Amino acid sequence: MARHGRPGKAGAPDGARGNRGHQAQRRGVLRPVAARLPLRPAGRAGLDTARAEQPGLRQADVPWEARAVSHPAPAVTVHAAVDGAIGTLTLDAPPLNLLSDALRAALLEALHEFKARRLRAVIVRSGGRAFCAGADLRDEVKLTPEQVQAFLDADEAVFSALAGFPGATLAAVDGYAYGGGFELALACDIRVAGRAARFAGVGVKLGLTVSTARLARVAGEGVALDLLLTGRVVEAPEAHVLGLVSSVTDDVDTEARRLADVVASRAPLSVQANKVGLRHCARLPLAEAVAYERGEWARLQRTGDHKEAVKAFFAKRPPVFTGE
């Protein structure tokens, strides 16, 4: 096997496939901005956004590209676009969107930009037959013992950036999500599957481990053990039954955008507090978790967004949240 979780032919089960403030944002398209990536550690992609004319949430769609210059590896591209308060990241590294250094670096750079612009939701999607098929074994087998930790840290930096993003992160999966690609989807807050979506934790087939912590938190220990000990492929309908995805749809991009619009219409501080609180309280005894929740409720009760929500409720109008 040349690649981590490389898929076989399609169909083979063991193959290795809002509110007014938000709606008021302008929409439009600017020309892509390309940036060449030198061979350097992930997280220093140096994406060039110099052509972005109006920074902040009011900037219309701002696509850009991050391209690797390593030889003979093919060019790797992540397309990033902003529409109102919602960002979209499209993985475009055919044929399988493997997690290369350049792809990780481009994702980190884009997420950093989105965070700086205070976007309220981010959609991660892909073009082609794969969402992300994990790492490339041709790179992994060359690692020295001294390089292994940096290799693992580079993956985790991307996953943590998605999980820790202040707004909601959504994975629109319509293809193979294997190995590291499965964990990329698990790192997002919400997952939506297209009919062609396939999920697999293939580490056990390669003498490795993957996704243990995140998979158990998303679907429970029983489901995690089933998938991790067998390495079997889960198709979209079963993924929904197991709780890996929120829904299965014929148009994954439309459904992901619909959910992103809903989240973007909610109070940003509340969205962030719910994300952080859910994960923090999962590690606490019940009494401590309840005390934490009450503290957060009291903090949010003093915010301008809560006051705006109360005014809007009695005025029978939609609230306009500012994140303050």
Residue 229, in any domain of the structure: yes
Check residues 52 and 288 and name the one with the higher pLDDT.
Answer: 288
If asked whether residues 161 and 214 sit together in one domain, one would say: yes
Starting at the earlier edge strand, list the strands of the sheet with 190-194.
33-37, 64-68, 77-83, 86-92, 121-126, 168-173, 190-194, 247-249
Residues 190 and 235 placed together within one structural domain of the fold: yes
- The CA distance from 231 to 84, in Å, is 40
**Residue 311 is part of which domain span?**
268-315
Residue 275 backbone class (left: φ over 0; alpha: ψ -120 to 50; beta: rest):
alpha
Residues 274 and 146 in one domain: no
Q: Are 137 and 180 in contact (CB under 8 A)?
A: no
Mean pLDDT for the stretch of residues 208-233: 93
Same domain, 162 and 293: no
Judgement on whether residues 241 and 299 belong to the same structural domain of the protein:
no
Residues 117 and 184 in one domain: yes
Question: 131-166 pLDDT, tens per residue?
Answer: 999 988 888 888 888 899 888 999 999 999 999 999
pTM over the 0.75 mark:
yes
Predicted pLDDT at 7 = 39
Same domain, 139 and 256: yes
Could you read off the pLDDT of 235-250 as tens digits, one per residue? 999 999 999 999 999 9
Spell out the residues 6+ positions from residue 287 whose beta carbon is closer than 8 angstroms to its own: none
Whether the Cβ atoms of residue 164 and residue 276 lie closer than 8 Å to each other = no
Same domain, 194 and 290: no
> How many beta carbons lie within 10 A of that of residue 3, not counting itself?
20
On whether both 242 and 289 belong to a single domain, the answer is no
The structural domain count of the chain equals 2
| Residue 123, domain member (yes or no) | yes
Name the average pLDDT for the chain: 80
Beta carbons within 8 Å of 16's beta carbon, 6+ residues apart: 1, 3, 5, 6, 7, 8, 178, 202, 205
| Alpha carbons 188 and 184: distance in angstroms, whole number | 7
Note the pLDDT tens digit of each residue in 113-130.
Answer: 999 999 999 999 998 889
Query: What pLDDT does 194 receive?
Result: 97
Is there a single domain that holds both residue 82 and residue 231?
A: yes
279 and 173 housed in the same domain: no
Residues 63 and 197 in one domain: yes
Domain of 273, CATH number, reads 1.10.12
The band of 76, judged by pLDDT with boundaries at 50, 70 and 90, is low
